[in-house]
Amino acid sequence: MKLTEPLDRRRMIGVAGAAMPFAVVSTESHGRQPERFTGKQILNIPKDNAMLASSIASYEKFGYSPAVRAGGLLFIAGQIGRRPDGGIGSVAEQAELALKRTAEILHLAGLTMADLVEVVSYHVDIETNLKEFMAVKARYTVKPFPAWSIIGVQALASPGLKIEIRSIAVFPD
C-alpha cells in the first residue's frame, strides 16, 4: 500500500475491504521531514467489543495504541484490571481482567496466549499480592511458556490498581 497524501498524527487508513484487524498508520511531520513509512500497523478494536470498547477513548486521550504490529511481532500495551464500569476489584480480579484483555487483543490479531514470547507484569505490593496473582497466571499461561519478568513497583496509573501486564507475541512464519 502506498501513501499518497500527508496524514494527521496517528490517523488510521482503511485497507481495501476494511475487514482487516489492522490499520496502516503514518505520522504528520510537525514541521520536520516526513517520517519514512515503516510498515507499523495498529490493531483496530471494534467499538462493540465488550472486553475492550470502554478503553477506546483512552487510547486517543493518552496517545497510545492497544497493540502495534511491527514485522512479525505484536507489541501489546500494558493491560490493567479495571472493569468496564470503571471499578477496580481484588488482585485476583485485576489479574483475571488484565489477562483476559491480553487474550482478547491476541484473538483480534489472530493469535493466542501460546504466541506470547515475552510478558512483563508490574505489581504494587508485590510481596502481599504475588501469590494471588500467580494462581490466576497459571490458568492463562500455556506451553511453550513465554519469557516473563515480574517487577515490583511503587504505584500504577490509577489509585487502587495493583497489576499491569504488557506483552509481545510473534506471528507464525
The pLDDT of residue 2 is above 50: no
The pLDDT of residue 13 is above 50: no
Overall average pLDDT of the 33-61 stretch = 77
108 domain-assigned: yes
Q: pLDDT tens across 96-121, in order?
A: 999 999 999 999 999 999 999 999 99
Q: pLDDT tens across 17-29, in order?
A: 334 466 554 444 3
Q: pLDDT tens across 55-100, in order?
A: 877 888 888 889 999 999 999 999 999 988 889 999 999 999 999 9
- In this predicted model, which residue has the larger pLDDT, 127 or 33? 127
The pLDDT of residue 149 is above 90: yes
Cα gap 147→126, rounded to integer Å:
19
109 domain-assigned: yes
Overall average pLDDT of the 152-170 stretch = 96
129 domain-assigned: yes
Q: Identify the pLDDT of residue 100.
A: 96
Q: What is the CATH number of the domain that holds 77?
A: 3.30.1330.40
| Number of domains composing the chain | 1
137 domain-assigned: yes
14 domain-assigned: no
Mean pLDDT check: name the lowest of 6-10, 98-102, 154-158.
6-10
10 domain-assigned: no
83: domain range? 42-170
146 domain-assigned: yes
